[in-house]
Structures are given as C-alpha cells and as structure tokens.
Structure 1
C-alpha cells in the first residue's frame, strides 16, 4: 500500500481538506489516544479495508439516511470517484478497549472518522482505502502528547 512519508498533524490535514466532523475527531483522538490535533503523527496512506476494525460496520436497518449515504458512496466508488480520506489510528498491538475479545474489534486500524466511506468501501470489497493514519507511539511516530503536557503543567 502506498504511504506518504511526511508526518502531518490532524490540524494541518484539516486545513488542507476540511472535515465537517473535525471536532468529534479531535475529541476521540484526545479521549482515546491522549493525542492532540497538533501532534505530528499522521501519514497519508492507502490501507487495506480488511484490516480496519469492523465494529463501525453499519448494522441498523432502520437508519434510512445512513443507508442512503452508503449507497451514494458505493455508486461513487463504482464510478471511479476518489473519496476524501477517512481518519484512522494504527493500533498494531490490538485494540485499546475492554471489548478486545469481541471479533468486531479485531484489526490493526481504529476508525476515528469516515464511517459511511468505510462501509461503502467494505461493501464494494475495495482492497484499499485512502486514509489519514495516526501512528501514535508506533512505526516511527511520536508518543501521545496530552499526557506528557498535562504532567508538566
């Protein structure tokens, strides 16, 4: 899979291509991984769809709006349209959640943003998806920054 070797912050990536869910993405990055949107831990990558944790797969048959979004994205994929990046965190040691025994949490990428795009790619059996991938304390990426900053202050 292709990887851009430059390290980016989520803040810089969002400035390049604004994400309308940026606030919740930043909140999840902070709460789950103790990292701020200023931490230069992201790379632009194409990652295998099969390696993303499956807990974000759509399973609500009553969510007509979500189903419609996924179907529209599937048509876009079929037409060869390049979709915006999803946001992932690489977790090579496995998930950092209590549900680690649940097979839906198996995978080396945790989805932070882009659920509908991920679902469309999964349903279309797309081999890889473009993503902004955080490498926090792995693959040469920096360690979490919020814990260190809070302990200093």
Structure 2
C-alpha cells in the first residue's frame, strides 16, 4: 500500500504531464481516477500523433491508408506494455536514472513491436523497411511531443 502513491506518480510521469522529483516522490501525487484520465489523454494524443505521421508517410510513399488500422492495433498492444514495463522497473529501483533507462529500453522495444505488428498485419501491402521507418518516425514524433508537453506543463 505504501507504494501506491509512487505507482500513481509514475503513471502520471509516463503520461507526460506530471513531473516528479524522485527525491520527494509524494510531491505532485495524483489521485488514481485523475491518473487514469491523464493516461487516457496521453494515449489519445500519442495515437493522434502517430496516425498523422503514418498518414503523411503512407501518402508520400503512395501506400494503402488501410495500414492506419494496424497502427491503431500496434498502439493498443504497445502502450500498456511500455507503461507496465517502465513502472515495474522503476518500482524495483526508484530513481530518475532508472526511470529514464527503462523508458529508453521500453521505447526501443515499442519501435520493434510496432514495426512487427504493422508489417505482419499488412504483409502483402508494405515492405519491412517501410514498417520499420513508420514505427521509428511515429515513435520519435510522439516522444518529442510528449517532451514538449512536459516542458510546457512545467512552466
């Protein structure tokens, strides 16, 4: 039960909205309901960014827009896995260094997972290189938007 406030704080951090000072983990703790809302908003923003970048990529490469459905599926699979992984690792060793390391490893895993899902769902309509490129572009764009949101929220 003592770890619940830390868990909620980490959920908020992962959503890209709440900044946590790991030396004072109870500062800025969100109530559970609000944390879940923040996660859903974050997920919606991430999905919107990745759909826009995917649409632009598909349009420029003249590929089927049906691939966008696999981007949605990939996000439905990858987002909870990323959050769960980062939270679990950070709870084992609560520090900002651990959080950032887990986030980096998790993001690399998400890029691989999303590329595989996009390719497997669209095997006949997309090359592996296009699936990988889309995944890298999508995740870089959504990560950078998240960083900008964190910086703006801290102002």
Q: TM-score range by the shorter chain?
A: under 0.3
Q: Which of the pair has the greater relative contact order for Cα pairs under 8 Å at 6+ separation? A: 1
Greater strand content: 1
Greater helix content: 2
TM-score of the pair, normalised by structure 1: 0.25
